[in-house]
Structure 1
Amino acid sequence: MVDGLLGLLNPMASLSDMAPSGVMVERQVVRSLAALVGFDPATADGVCTSGGTVSNLIAVLAARNRAFPEAWEKGVAGMRPRAFCSEDVHYSVRRVFGIAGMGSDALTAISTDAAGRMRVGLLEEAIHLARRAGESPFLVVAGAPSTPIGAFDPIGAIGAVARAAGLWLHVDAAHGGGLLFSERLRPLLAGAAVADSFSMDGHKMVFQPSSQGWLRFRHGADAYAAFRQRVPYLLGPDGADSDFDAIGKSLQCTRRLDALKLWVTWHLYGSRTLGGWAEQCVATARAFYQRLVDHPDFEPVHVPACNIVCFRARHPSGRHDDGFHDALRARLLVQGNAWVVLTTWRGERLLRTAWMNPTQGEEQVAAVVAALAAARASLLAAG
């Protein structure tokens, strides 16, 4: 309904004189989401984006420009920037470093513990070693959750290290940010209020139509740090025509009013319902995990922290076989009655599910497990 309305009205949501009510809608949602993270909505700011990749790009540019004030005009040659992330960071973070001209080699991947969470002690050591080597640490990226198995980095502890070292903390919660709507699941993101920036996708665990991302900054002035330009016909001397405009904070000039989708959803259903939907997805993932634990042919590789479950298919030989997993997924797709993806974690090819539909439950879990078992049996029978 809202997508149809946006197509009909076609508002340009970057400037208040072109879509005054639309810009106010986005501003209201940004402030409400900032409060959800734990930021002060009176001083925080942010912007609606197309998704996690663009949100991460803007956050990294803002962190870079704060650490290296001449980087926008002169680049970072000779500055030796250094940033830190989990070894399981989302691919977009490395992509962003390539786009930003720092190179993906400027990222140090920190090893994770048995549960897939960044090891904070190793982070602290890596920052110290980088400084001894003459590099310039400026940023830490925490995952909420990481991509492969949905592990949540210990944001509070990472934030304490970043703050002590004078580094920017960005929380990439593109997948898990929607859990903040749930009082039961919110502790998974404990410590997020100390972040300098926080990204979240509406089209993931806030159940919005694609595409919709949100980026929030604890300090409102940082929202304008990413793009340092003077465009007289659009931007004022401080980078925006007014406090209500998004143009100084956004990668794009022409933007749909995608903020309206979440504004309508939030007003219609409220935080409790949105949180309940997230809880249902996590409950379904945990039911799927338990089915795998009880099944002789499959083996989960982790206890799910959220709605993501990765697992092995047991090979009759007793050894792990990456090719067997590839073939099993291909057979499952041919059957056409269930869909899983492949991932690689700690050197192993695994099957991965992300339970994203709050209307699903035990019935769908049983159907997926049955489809997996049938695909495995068919594959083995075919030799």
Structure 2
Amino acid sequence: MPDRNHNFIVFSPHISIRFISDIQSRNFTDDSKFLLLGLTEDAELQRLLFMLFLIMYLVTVLGNLLIILAVSSDSHLYTPMYFFISILSITDICLSTTTIPNMLVNIQTQNKSITYTGCLCQIFFVLVFNGFEICLLSAMSYDRYVAICHPLRYMVIMNPCFCGLMILFSLFISMVDAFVHTLMVLHLSFCTEVKIRQFFCELAQILKLACSSTFINNIFIYFFGCILGVVPFSGIIFSYTQIISSVLRIPSTSGKYKAFSTCGSHLSVVFLFYGTSFGVYISSMFSHSSINTAVASVMYSVVPQMMNPFIYSLRNTDIKVSLRELIGRIPFSNDFAIVKSH
């Protein structure tokens, strides 16, 4: 019979190999980089995507900046509704800036890598601004509910202090959600080179590539998904149920149209945001193609932020008037008119 020392010698290489593999998997996140493969590896398509995303990013930033300037420069727009619209524009700029510039740099330099710290930062800020936008849309629906169902008490209920508390509470909830998810990612280990078929670090993609258990991570995803998904959406449904019920009691057709027109822009933004998010969820469930999932992610992380300024500027008369006045005050527009007249 082999003695104990002989047994130890026989089994020790397996133990050593397993121990070294465990150390390598845990240390991978400390000194290595992730690879963002993007939407395609074709050089021609990458150049096309660079121009497309650059244009989309510039349109997003400039469009939302114009909304912010229009609201801040016109004292007639110092109301809760336009306060929420300006905060939404700031959120859209921040969300787009979290993902698109890094993608543009990677395409231009042909460097697909992102540091582990940079990837965690992207996960954190994407979750923060996405969660904040969800809560903000719910707050805006409550604002429309008070304006239509309780018009005489509107300024009393939607006072500056209450609006500020709604913003701070929404930001707090979204930051807690992002902090918990990012902290849980720190406990994951990655056994091989992490290649993310996406143009930014998305939490769902990171969890799929982890070689350690993600059970706890998924529990937190479902828990906060109920808080940030079901609760705000239920608030939106409740608000518009009350709004529709109140509007239907208005006798005149013009009165009904006027009441519904104040909600048109917000409803369009809600449908765009939740429609694209639902599309991503369906795509991830029924499509096993990583390319399709990546393209679907573009729809909720880029498109709504670019379209929101157009929705509010085209459908809102007050903002259109304010934008005309703002552009009219720009010096070069007056100089151009003088030169043209000569």
TM-score in terms of structure 2 length:
0.24
Greater strand percent: which structure? 1
The structure with more helix, counted as a fraction of residues: 2
Bigger relative contact order (CA 8 A; separation at least 6): 2
Question: Higher Cα Rg: structure 1 or 2?
Answer: 2
- TM-score under structure 1 normalisation? 0.22
